[in-house]
Structure 1
Amino acid sequence: MHRHHGDEIDEVHEHDKGLSYDLPVLARRRMIRLMAGAGVGLIPLVGCTSEDGGAASAPSRSSASPESSAGSSAASSAECATIPDETAGPFPGDGSNGVNVLKESGVVRGDITKSFGDSAGGTAEGVPLTVTLTVVDAASGCGTPKQGAAVYIWHCDRAGDYSLYSEGIADENYLRGVQETDAAGRVTFTSIFPGCYPNRWPHIHFEVYGSLEDATAATSITNTSQLALPADVCDAVYATEGYEESVPNLAELSLDSDSIFRDGYDQQLAAVKGSVAEGYTATLTVPV
């Protein structure tokens, strides 16, 4: 059990279940591949997924192959499906589960490593990570960027804790931020590499809104999903100081056994480049 969480919080945190857990998770694994000879494209499939939490016994570790990382660039292929809809988890900070950071002045920012406003003013320490999401229109075949949309991202710190909720950092709001997409549909956040807590593969949460006005009013979410981080990069980062607790947690997991990503992660696995010494960049195309 994670040292920073109370028993009640830990139980929820381990399985990453939020208020939406009891609701059907829509728009899951979105497509049926028809035989190539039929000459027919992909058909979106709406279904449900099960999130019973916990890792499978003796899972095999899944590393990010070049093909897997390339899968994040959905817009570069003939395939285009809406980003999988996922739970926001128990710590969204968007008003759906208690605290609402989206209405606070200062949440619209690119650097999310520091707290802002009347919070404690702390800084999240860890290996630098720059996250770039490109929001595109799925209906147009992923060829049209969604300018003027907004993205809210949040993730845990290197100890596996979430600002606004976890014991010791409930007064902080770092590792949370909103940005409006530019003409290319892009938003870029400066952050740190998240840790790995029990029973969840390393990930970053994000919500897409139709506009910055909607995001800062915490209303009209269009998409909620999660970005997965490649295994080889996680191994390298977790060998550094401050990430010690992530090592045994990651050893019990794989992308194929994770409660969220086990039904497919081709659209959610970020392409990551860089090094521990220089920091990393993670990129993902987000069709909406």
Structure 2
Amino acid sequence: MPHHHHDEDHEHEHDRGLSYDLPVLARRRMIRLLAGASLVPLVGCSGSGEDTASASSSTSSGAASASSGGSSSSRAECATIPDETAGPYPGDGSNGVNVLKESGVVRSDITAGFGDSAGGTAEGVPLTITLTVVDAASGCGTPKKGAAVYLWHCDRDGNYSLYSEGVTEENYLRGVQETDDKGQVTFKSIFPACYSGRWPHIHFEVYGSLDDATAATSITNTSQLALPKDVCDTVYATDGYSQSVTNLGRLSLETDNIFSDGHDQQLARVTGSVDKGYTATLTVPV
């Protein structure tokens, strides 16, 4: 699947604007138009939309779990995760620094820095992120064992380690995991901020193997996970997230320049509470 590196539309120093992302959006709209022409609904790997995300602050539905069937019908109904920009702060060597080749990047707990940048720890409401990577060609019924996922996101202040002013020497909130027998990877992190111009999200890249990931080569898929509004509202009401309240109030999933053309496959299911922490889950067909 083609891979694109574009900048996100927000007001950080690397902003290139919405026009830079239009080729990605135009391509995805064309794919959806062609899919619609065949009159085959995309189910099995897609879930409820923003209406479900507003249902409760403790449980929100996003992309549905993988289909258990392997029939030709289910294969036709399973769509690959939409390809998205890696943004200006990937840390994968495509825009400056390459964290993937550093010893210690393969880890589950990404709240603290590692290696020479082990001094800082990201503060915020706890968030566990579990991605299930499945084979789209098999109708989402076959886990992708032995693949790898590189995941990263901003901190509570909306800053990205390695890039943003004040945290260029940090490498927290970045990590790589190899998928297990169920095709799953799990990261322990914190709930990211909503910074100006972008809906709250988490970046990830999928690689064919752990060796590919740590060599920063042969990315198979690049996408983003969206967080549901009701949970964001609850988290952002806590200490440390005040600016996110203002930023989120200016946005919606329908106006975000990444998720506006469809977010069913990218809206995570989030459960939990501020006191006990949250868990976000998403099925990732590749």
* TM-score of the two chains, using structure 1 as the length reference: 0.82
Residues 179, 27 of structure 1: alpha-carbon distance in 2 compared, 3 angstrom cutoff: farther
Residue aligned with 1:206, SS: strand
Structure 2 counterpart of 1:115, which letter? G
Residues 230, 93 of structure 1: alpha-carbon distance in 2 compared, 3 angstrom cutoff: same
Who is 2:226 aligned against?
228
* Residue 12, structure 1, aligned to residue 10, structure 2: no
Instruction: Give the C-alpha shift of residue 255 in structure 1.
Output: 0.4
Instruction: Give the C-alpha shift of residue 21 in structure 1.
Output: 4.7
Instruction: Give the C-alpha shift of residue 73 in structure 1.
Output: 1.6
Q: Paired residue for 2:127, among 126, 129, 135?
A: 129
CA distance in structure 1 between the partners assigned to 2:28 and 2:54 by the alignment: 23
Who is 1:73 aligned against?
64
Structure 1 counterpart of 2:168, which letter? A
Instruction: Give the C-alpha shift of residue 28 in structure 1.
Output: 2.0
Who is 2:257 aligned against?
259
Instruction: Give the C-alpha shift of residue 64 in structure 1.
Output: 1.0
Q: Paired residue for 2:240, among 234, 239, 242?
A: 242
Alignment of 1:199-210 (within 5 A): 199-210=197-208
Residue aligned with 1:283, SS: strand
Residue aligned with 1:28, SS: helix
Residues 35, 83 of structure 1: alpha-carbon distance in 2 compared, 3 angstrom cutoff: closer
Structure 2 counterpart of 1:132, which letter? T
Structure 1 counterpart of 2:63, which letter? S
The number of residues matched between the two structures is 259
Residues 87, 176 of structure 1: alpha-carbon distance in 2 compared, 3 angstrom cutoff: same
Alignment of 1:1-288 (within 5 A): 10-13=12-15, 15=17, 21=21, 24=24, 28=28, 30-31=31-32, 32-33=35-36, 40=40, 64-65=53-54, 69-73=60-64, 75-76=66-67, 78=74, 79-119=77-117, 121-288=119-286
CA distance in structure 2 between the partners assigned to 1:162 and 1:259 by the alignment: 19
CA distance in structure 2 between the partners assigned to 1:129 and 1:196 by the alignment: 15
Residues 245, 70 of structure 1: alpha-carbon distance in 2 compared, 3 angstrom cutoff: closer
Which stretch shows the higher mean deviation, 253-262 or 111-120?
111-120
CA distance in structure 1 between the partners assigned to 2:218 and 2:26 by the alignment: 16
Residues 117, 224 of structure 1: alpha-carbon distance in 2 compared, 3 angstrom cutoff: same
Residues 66, 287 of structure 1: alpha-carbon distance in 2 compared, 3 angstrom cutoff: farther
Contact 2:60 2:269 in 1 (8 A): yes
CA distance in structure 2 between the partners assigned to 1:184 and 1:102 by the alignment: 24
Instruction: Give the C-alpha shift of residue 25 in structure 1.
Output: 6.2
Who is 2:4 aligned against?
none
* TM-score of the two chains, using structure 2 as the length reference: 0.83
Who is 1:54 aligned against?
none
CA distance in structure 2 between the partners assigned to 1:248 and 1:110 by the alignment: 31
CA distance in structure 2 between the partners assigned to 1:9 and 1:65 by the alignment: 27
Structure 2 counterpart of 1:141, which letter? G
Contact 1:63 1:231 in 2 (8 A): no
Residues 42, 204 of structure 1: alpha-carbon distance in 2 compared, 3 angstrom cutoff: closer
User: Alignment identity in percent?
Assistant: 71
CA RMSD of aligned residues (A): 2.8
Who is 1:4 aligned against?
none
Instruction: Give the C-alpha shift of residue 10 in structure 1.
Output: 1.8
Contact 1:132 1:186 in 2 (8 A): yes
CA distance in structure 1 between the partners assigned to 2:26 and 2:134 by the alignment: 20
Instruction: Give the C-alpha shift of residue 72 in structure 1.
Output: 0.7
Residues 170, 11 of structure 1: alpha-carbon distance in 2 compared, 3 angstrom cutoff: closer
Instruction: Give the C-alpha shift of residue 33 in structure 1.
Output: 3.5
Which stretch shows the higher mean deviation, 160-169 or 27-36?
27-36
Structure 2 counterpart of 1:113, which letter? T
Contact 1:14 1:197 in 2 (8 A): no
Instruction: Give the C-alpha shift of residue 26 in structure 1.
Output: 8.4
CA distance in structure 2 between the partners assigned to 1:132 and 1:191 by the alignment: 11
Instruction: Give the C-alpha shift of residue 76 in structure 1.
Output: 3.5
Contact 1:62 1:254 in 2 (8 A): no
